Amino acid sequence: MYIFTTTLVSTGMLRLVWGILFVSFCLYTGWVYLYCDEKKDVAQNDPAVTEGWHLWQQKNCQSCHQLYGLGGYMGPDLTNISRDSSKGEQYMYTFIKYGSGRMPAFQMNDDEVYKIISFLQWVDKSGKSQVPEEAVHWTGTYFIDK
Ligand code: HEC
């Protein structure tokens, strides 16, 4: 009798727990779907940025450089190079066009180099490479516009 009652109670409890998990899953999925949709097409607004991004991928810049701390570590993080007043467009142009002792030259024409620069300028506007404390949400994610 005791075992019978216990089984009944735990089946009910189990259903309740699964029910709560299922409803939480649906609510969370819906929230992520709605929340992530907001900023989908920022890069697509400017074709030069999109083409610069493709070149960035084709030339595999990220194998040596990081964006937001992710990528290779042979060269420096380039997320915020555009806002660095000691560097600027001409500085980036020279590196990308001619390389340096440790960075290869990529034989790109000026148009391609400037597209990559547009891409890096766009990346810079999206936030800072180091996440500021106040931008971290309690869920562990962070807001890129803070
Ligand atoms: C083989 C590794 C490698 C690849 C691939 C590479 N870089 Fe570099 N890059 C470096 C290194 C190393 C430096 C630092 C060189 C130095 O200071 O002499 C650097 C420096 C730079 C700088 C100057 C950064 C600063 O803050 O002074 C820019 C801009 C840059 N790279 C852009 C690019 C772009 C754009 C690409 C892709 C087209 C690229 N790099 C591909 C290794 C690489």
Tens of pLDDT, residues 46-74? 899 999 999 999 999 999 999 988 999 99
Which residue CA neighbors atom 3 of ligand 1 most closely?
64
Nearest CA, atom 5, ligand 1: 61
Contact 67, 79 (CB under 8 A): yes
Q: What are phi and psi of 136, to 5 degrees?
A: -80, 120
Q: Which distant-in-sequence residues (6+ apart) come within 8 Å of 106 by Cβ?
A: 59, 96, 97, 99
Asked if residue 117 has its Cβ within 6 Å of ligand 1, the reply is: no
Please give the structure tokens belonging to residue 128: 């800072």
Q: Taking residues 69-95, what's their average pLDDT?
A: 93
Write the pLDDT tens digit of every residue in 102-111.
999 998 999 9
Q: What percent of the chain has pLDDT above 90?
A: 59
Segments of the chain assigned E as strands:
66-67, 70-71
116 lines ligand 1 (CB under 6 A): yes
* 12 class by beta-carbon count within 10 Å (0-12 exposed, 13-18 middle, 19+ buried): exposed
Atom of ligand 1 nearest to the CA of 92: 29
Nearest to 121 by CA among 84, 71, 96: 84
Say which DSSP state 131 is in.
P
Instruction: Report which DSSP code applies to 67.
Output: E
Supply the residue whose CA is at minimum distance from atom 13 of ligand 1: 75
Q: Which residue has the higher pLDDT, 98 or 144?
A: 98
For ligand 1, whether the C-beta of 115 sits within 6 Å is no
Please give the Cα distance from 116 to 122 (Å, whole number).
10
Query: DSSP state, 99?
Result: -
pLDDT score at 11: 84
The answer to whether the CB of 67 is under 6 A from ligand 1 is no
